[in-house]
């Protein structure tokens, strides 16, 4: 009776097994890379807006404070998208005939709000409160990056749950004095560890075990 399998079958079987394992490993790595890539997270990808708006120009060059446009950031869960009237406070006097601002002027004339697109847009099942983070001494740049250096606003971080928990696990790495929250170029002092511990106590920041509670972000 002839052999059912040829001697080369052993080699083929080994190659097939290792090839299959390699294929699964490569597929897993590819899915992981795509999951954390800007393609999925939208990180570092400028969002097209109805009117080109440069934070670099308004914040860095003109020195406009975040709160001038985002009026409710200290008192509300939502930072607020500036109303057309806020834009026209300046642009009724400056660049009044600029074609790029035609939609802003039209918005005011027709009393219809501008349809700005949110850059940092969390899922509906996530609860995030701007005011509590400001009150606890978390600076704008910790989440939004150096917007004062962005000609076009982009998402600076992936905004995944893992990224949020990294901050909740070690709030001392992000906390700063409240009066420095809106300073884009604030630098941590050499004795930051001692100061951070003091601020955590002063601002009554919850311990990491409490900040990991599901109900903090999912309500």
- pLDDT tens-digit series, residues 140-199: 999 999 999 999 999 999 999 999 999 999 999 999 999 999 999 999 988 788 999 999
Identify whether the C-beta of residue 99 lies closer than 8 Å to the C-beta of residue 137: no
Identify whether the C-beta of residue 71 lies closer than 8 Å to the C-beta of residue 80: yes
Identify whether the C-beta of residue 131 lies closer than 8 Å to the C-beta of residue 71: no
Select from 181, 187, 98 the least CA-distant residue to 138: 181
**Is the model's pTM score more than 0.85?**
no
Delimit the domains of the chain by residue range: 12-41, 55-60+72-80+120-216
pLDDT of 2 higher than 80: no
Q: How many CB atoms lie within 10 A of CB 174?
A: 19
Q: What's the CA gap between 42 and 156, in Å, rounded? A: 9
- Where on the phi/psi map is residue 52: left (φ > 0), alpha (ψ -120 to 50), or beta? beta
């Amino acid at each position: 009776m002839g052999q059912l399998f040829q001697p080369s079958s052993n080699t083929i079987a080994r190659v097939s097994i290792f090839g299959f394992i390699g294929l699964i490993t490569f597929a897993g790595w590819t899915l992981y890379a795509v999951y954390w890539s800007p393609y999925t997270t939208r990180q570092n990808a400028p969002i097209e807006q109805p009117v080109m708006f440069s934070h670099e120009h308004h914040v860095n060059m003109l020195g406009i404070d975040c709160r001038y446009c985002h009026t409710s950031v200290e008192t509300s869960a939502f930072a607020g998208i500036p109303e057309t009237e806020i834009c026209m406070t300046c642009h009724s006097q400056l660049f009044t005939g600029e074609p790029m601002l035609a939609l802003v002027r039209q918005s005011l004339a027709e009393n219809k709000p501008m349809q700005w697109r949110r850059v940092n847009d969390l899922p509906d099942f996530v609860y995030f409160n701007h005011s509590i983070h400001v009150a606890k001494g978390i600076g704008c740049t910790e989440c939004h990056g150096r917007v004062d250096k962005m000609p076009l606003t982009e998402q600076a971080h992936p905004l995944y749950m893992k990224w949020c928990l990294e901050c909740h696990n070690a709030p001392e790495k992000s906390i700063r004095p409240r009066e420095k929250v809106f300073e884009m170029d604030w630098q941590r002092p050499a004795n930051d560890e001692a100061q951070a511990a003091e601020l955590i106590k002063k601002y009554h920041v919850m311990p990491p075990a409490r900040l990991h509670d599901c109900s903090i972000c999912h309500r």
